């Protein structure tokens, strides 16, 4: 059997799928809840409560959209049911470890003094907000030495960290509305791309509230507000990416070598194509309400076209969208047709 305890009180385990199919071992561990990542159904549905997340261990997969549900599942099992949770994927190295790291980051923001970091004397001296992913990553690796999270999932964990930090800062909000921030815009945009692949549609198009922006980007022709700085997807710099935790084991694995040889090359080609085509910076933004009329199929309002041109109400071409591009984010707006202005008064869009 291949598993490790991640909490001192042995209520949270990470392991492989073979252990998840061994009823004797699960019973001895007193498991009550199981998260199966990479599987469509649980092996003992009448014995345990399951959460299944059907996702491949690939850097381009969107695991971020499943993390809030998985974190809530673990939290509910431990806090409300005195449960024991077993989290697994195939080998218990990438997908399952990603889920557990997200849970620890959530626990820290919820109550730092009761988190796994509370007994570390150096936490207060460091900028915990920036180092939190590293602390949680190192803790899980110490408990599960074979951990090997692919770099795409690590990048999404950093995005999750930034989203949690902003959510804590916005707890005083009295109305329920989308949180406006670049990390949240990225999350919604990635989710929109996944929804398009799965269903041909997108559930959430954000309505821009110009009063929430000190600066706005407007159509050069008619001055209609089209998006704000918080609607732009977050793209980590090369320096920020280099500072993220890395797994040498994954990088040297077959999947890692294929990733660096193909995916990064395709990304570089796509970036060069953008630069050559537009000769300027482009904005990649989340799905906004005004875009939907451009995207729907002429014969079916419930389906979206995979790509096309974004047109302002005044008829000005602002850019284009592509749900099937090589990049992570589907929306692209050209700078040449929009300009940034200081927001002074509300203009109807």
Q: Which residue has the tokens 């630069």?
A: 275
Listed residue (329, 122, 150) closest to 251, CA to CA: 150
**Residue 283: which residues within 8 A CB-CB, separation 6 or more?**
217, 227, 232, 319, 332, 333, 334, 335, 338
DSSP summary character for residue 342: E
Output the DSSP codes for 45-101.
TTTSEEEEE---S-TTS--GGGHHHHHHHHHHHHHHS---EEEE-SSSSSHHHHHHH
Residue 204 CA: distances (Å) to CA of 177, 190, 227, 261? 12, 12, 16, 35
Sign of CA dihedral 242, 244, 245, 249: negative
The answer to whether 219 is a known catalytic residue is no
Listed residue (119, 17, 32) closest to 83, CA to CA: 32
DSSP summary character for residue 222: T
Neighbours of 56 (CB within 10 A): 13
Catalytic residue (one of 89, 97, 143, 325): 89
Partner residues linked to 320 by β-bridges: 309, 332
Residue 55 CA: distances (Å) to CA of 38, 59, 63, 94? 5, 11, 7, 11
Residue positions annotated with a catalytic role: 89
């Amino acid at each position: 059997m291949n598993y490790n305890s991640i909490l001192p009180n042995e209520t949270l385990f990470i392991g492989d799928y073979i252990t998840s199919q061994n009823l004797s071992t699960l019973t001895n561990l007193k498991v009550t809840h199981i998260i199966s990542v990479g599987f469509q159904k649980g092996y003992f549905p009448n014995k345990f409560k399951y959460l299944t997340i059907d996702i491949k261990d690939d850097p381009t997969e969107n695991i971020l959209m499943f993390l809030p549900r998985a974190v809530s599942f673990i939290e509910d099992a431990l806090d409300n049911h005195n449960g024991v949770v077993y989290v697994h994927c195939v080998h218990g190295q990438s997908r399952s470890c990603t889920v557990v790291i997200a849970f620890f980051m959530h626990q820290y923001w919820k109550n730092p003094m009761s988190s796994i970091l509370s007994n570390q004397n150096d936490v207060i001296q460091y900028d915990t907000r920036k180092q939190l992913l590293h602390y949680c990553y190192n803790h899980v690796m110490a408990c599960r030495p074979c951990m090997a999270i692919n770099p795409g999932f690590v990048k999404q964990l950093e995005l999750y960290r930034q989203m949690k930090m902003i959510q804590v800062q916005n707890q005083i909000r009295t109305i329920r509305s989308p949180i406006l921030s670049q990390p949240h815009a990225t999350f919604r945009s990635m989710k929109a791309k996944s929804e398009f692949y799965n269903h041909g549609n997108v559930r959430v198009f954000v309505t821009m509230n110009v009063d929430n922006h000190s600066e706005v980007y407007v159509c050069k022709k008619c001055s209609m507000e089209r998006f704000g700085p918080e609607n732009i997807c977050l793209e980590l710099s090369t320096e920020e990416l280099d500072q993220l935790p890395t797994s040498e084991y994954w990088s040297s694995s077959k999947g890692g070598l294929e990733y660096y040889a193909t995916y990064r090359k395709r990304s570089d080609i796509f970036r060069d194509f953008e630069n050559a085509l537009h000769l300027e910076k482009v904005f990649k933004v989340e799905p906004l309400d005004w875009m939907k009329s451009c995207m729907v199929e002429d014969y079916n309002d419930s389906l979206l076209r995979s790509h096309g041109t974004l047109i302002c109400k005044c008829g000005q071409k602002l850019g284009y969208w592509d749900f099937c591009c090589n990049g992570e984010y589907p929306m692209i707006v050209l700078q040449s047709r929009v300009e940034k202005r200081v927001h002074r008064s509300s203009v109807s869009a």
